Amino acid sequence: MSEILTKSRARNVFYGGSIFFVVVFVALTVQSHYYITNKSTAGMELTDEVVLGKHVWERHSCINCHTLHGEGAYFAPELGNVMTRWGAMDDPELAYEILDGWMKAQPSGIEGRRQMPYFEITDEEMRGLAEFLRWADQTDTQNWPPNDAG
Residues 53-72 that bind other proteins (CB under 8 A): 54, 57-65, 67-72
What type of residue is 60? H
Q: Does 43 bind other proteins (CB under 8 A)?
A: no
Q: Does 41 bind other proteins (CB under 8 A)?
A: yes
The residues pairing with 71 across neighbouring beta strands, listed in sequence order, are 68
Residues that bind ligand HEM (CB under 6 A): 70-71, 73-75
CB count within 10 Å of CB 62 equals 20
Helix (H) or strand (E) holding 71: strand 71-72
Measured between alpha carbons, how far is 25 from 85 in angstroms, rounded to an integer? 36
Measured between alpha carbons, how far is 98 from 64 in angstroms, rounded to an integer? 22
Using the minimum distance from each CB to ligand HEM, give the nearer residue, 71 or 140.
71
Using the minimum distance from each CB to ligand HEM, give the nearer residue, 36 or 73.
73
Subset of 101-140 contacting other proteins (CB under 8 A): 107, 109, 111-115, 117, 132, 135-136, 139-140
Judged by CB under 8 A, which stretch of 14-22, 87-95, 96-104, 121-129 contacts other proteins? 14-22
Q: 30, 36, 87, 124: which one contacts other proteins (CB under 8 A)?
A: 36
Measured between alpha carbons, how far is 21 from 126 in angstroms, rounded to an integer? 43
